[in-house]
Amino acid sequence: MTLSDTATPASAIPPKETKAQKMERLKREKNPWEAWKEVQQFAREGRTSVTAEWAGAYFKWWGIYTQGDGVGVTGGKGGEGKASEYFMMRIGLPNGLLTAHQVHVIADITEKYARGVADITTRQNIQLHWLTIESLPEVVEKLMEIGLSPKGACGDVMRNVTGCPLAGLDGHELIDASPLALEVAHKLTANPDFYNLPRKFKVSVTGCPSWCSFPEINDVALTALRRKKPSGISGVDVGKEEIGYSLRVGGGLSAEPHLAVRLNAFVPQEKAYDVVQAVVEIFREQDVLRESRTHARIKYLFMKHGWTAERMLAAVEEKLGYKFDPSEEGPIAGDIYRDHVGVHRQKQEGLSYIGATVLNGRISPEQMHALAALSEEHGTGELRATIGQNIVLVNIPNAKVNEVVAKIVGLGLEVEPTTFYRGAIACTGTEFCKLAIAETKGFNKWLVGELEERLPGFDQQIRLHVTGCTNSCGQSWIADLGLEGKKIKKDGKMVDAFYFCVGGAVGEHAGIARQIGFRAAAEDCPDAIERLLRGYLKQRSEGENLRAYFRRTSDEELRAALNGGATEAVARDPAPGRVPSNVG
């Protein structure tokens, strides 16, 4: 008998699963929220007992990732770096709301289990590092005891619901939207009916006129809207003012950014939750989005599958069984700081809030304990995390503000930061992420210091976002200056470098940052940025802000300013591997 007689025909060999097919199969086979006992078993048996399915997929449903080995993607293969024996965990904080007691417990957890390393994220979460498999059940138990959980902070599920950290306190808000944000979070996050979505799903709900939760980059966003009841509506009070919501769908960043599309509808307050659930259900039903992990977000209905705002609105109305009144857009958030940093009066008489800048979101247990103690001693024991990786103390008596500010500054935080310090954002980078190409948080801290020294008194708001790869976890696409990590050869060796994206914005000047074709080694970035900003100061017209200047300046001119002379454009690198679960 010949070899050919016994060989399996090629047509009989089953095709290899794609990454999307594998993930869809794993989700069909198990709801990770119902299998926590398996994690408890791993904790008893040790790190080597963790299965590949849990390490690569199921842990995410519990807000857990395997932690990289500190080298990033370049230390691995197939577009992903090597995993260490440790884990990262993200703690969901709906609307960023925290009590002092919760902060004290998180600080204790960080000190005992996470080597003192915690980060405030760009979705009002707190992320821990250096967790062992043995510690995971203990950490989750301690979080649940204080009303918090990592469930739903990662995975193909409804993620942490973001909102204005000053909800209920800001005298300029149209409505306190935090009850709605909490309702959405409590009903949809970690809901077994929605454990198997095509990909992650991010929601923002805000009554803040500055749109501080960035509705433009969420899968679904509700922003408060004021109108007068039009004629033709049944009932009384025609012409009376009412507050509802404007609805946006399909925002997201990652490797292919897309700003959310506004639907022509006025959403009454009592219908707002139903609208969010309807869009999630529509998303869940789109099997076409399950065919590719990189094209699975709801934004791709608009980007690849021909959906329009009108079609999405019709789908929502069909699911709900009623129609919405058309509505004008209403005021768009101005070209202002959206971070609530500094001291500001609340609408409650005699009280203020204090927004403290936490550079790149990195916060220590000592700082957390101290901030919680300040909120207990001088306020009502309430704090708020922000999407700017910062923290806010609220309900501080005006007479105590100066004392509290002095103590916050004494912790190494800033209440009146420089423009560079205030606008700095950084993702995890190679320190912990398996997909990153460059280190970020340490670099951005050094970069901010360099720019403060070189350009003291720079008088413009500037969002300076550093992300470790092309996936934009650091939101480089909506920054004035977005720096994407890469590697280049300099002086005969490979070094960290960054590709520049310029002119991104949200609100009044909303738009995706331009890929201008310039890159620089990390050590050369301060020189390049100094040249660019000095050029702006010299060439700006009267009253022209930085975003307006970037809009009217060509890619060639911006590239020459950064380089110190004309230079050819270089191509932006493609993403090194899969789109990570934590990317915008």
Which of these, 477, 490, 482, 474, lies nearest to 436 by C-alpha position? 474
- Band of pLDDT at residue 508, cut at 50, 70 and 90: confident
First to last CA, the chain: 58
- Band of pLDDT at residue 4, cut at 50, 70 and 90: very low
pTM (2 d.p.): 0.93
Tell me the pairing of strands 481-490 and 241-249.
unpaired
pLDDT, residue 138, reads 98
Which residues 6+ apart lie within 8 Å of 441 measured at CB?
A: 360, 362, 426, 428, 429, 431
Task: Establish how many alpha carbons lie within 13 A of residue 357's alpha carbon, considering only the half-sphere containing its beta carbon.
Answer: 20
Each residue's pLDDT tens digit, 335-369: 878 899 999 999 999 999 999 999 999 999 999 99
Q: Which helix (H) or strand (E) holds 514?
A: strand 514-521
- Whether 340 and 165 have beta carbons less than 8 Å apart is answered as yes
Structural domains in the chain plus CATH codes: 16-92+118-145 (3.90.480.20), 178-320 (3.30.413.10), 342-417 (3.90.480.10), 421-563 (3.30.413.10)
What's phi and psi for 330, nearest 5 deg?
A: 85, 180
Least confident interval from 2-6, 196-200, 395-399, 404-408: 2-6
Q: In what order do the strands lie in the sheet with 261-268?
A: 203-206, 220-228, 241-249, 261-268
Please report the DSSP string for 160-192 in residue order: PPB--TTTTT-TT-SS--HHHHHHHHHHHTT-G
β-partners of residue 485 are 498
Residue 264 pLDDT greater than 70, yes or no: yes
Tell me the pairing of strands 464-467 and 481-490.
parallel
Residue 576 pLDDT greater than 60, yes or no: no
CA 81 to chain CA centroid, nearest Å = 22
Residue with tokens 């529509």: 282
- Whether 580 and 435 have beta carbons less than 8 Å apart is answered as yes
Q: Which two tokens stand for residue 333?
A: 């958030």
Q: How far is CA 401 from CA 72, 172, 394, 404, in A?
A: 43, 21, 11, 5
Which of these, 98, 152, 96, lies nearest to 123 by C-alpha position? 96
Each residue's pLDDT tens digit, 446-487: 999 999 999 999 999 999 999 999 989 999 999 999 999 999
Mean pLDDT of 62-67: 97
Q: Would you give the DSSP letter of residue 209?
A: T
Each residue's pLDDT tens digit, 115-159: 999 999 999 999 999 999 999 999 999 999 999 999 999 999 999
Tell which phi-psi region holds residue 18, choosing left (phi > 0), alpha (psi between -120 and 50) or beta.
beta
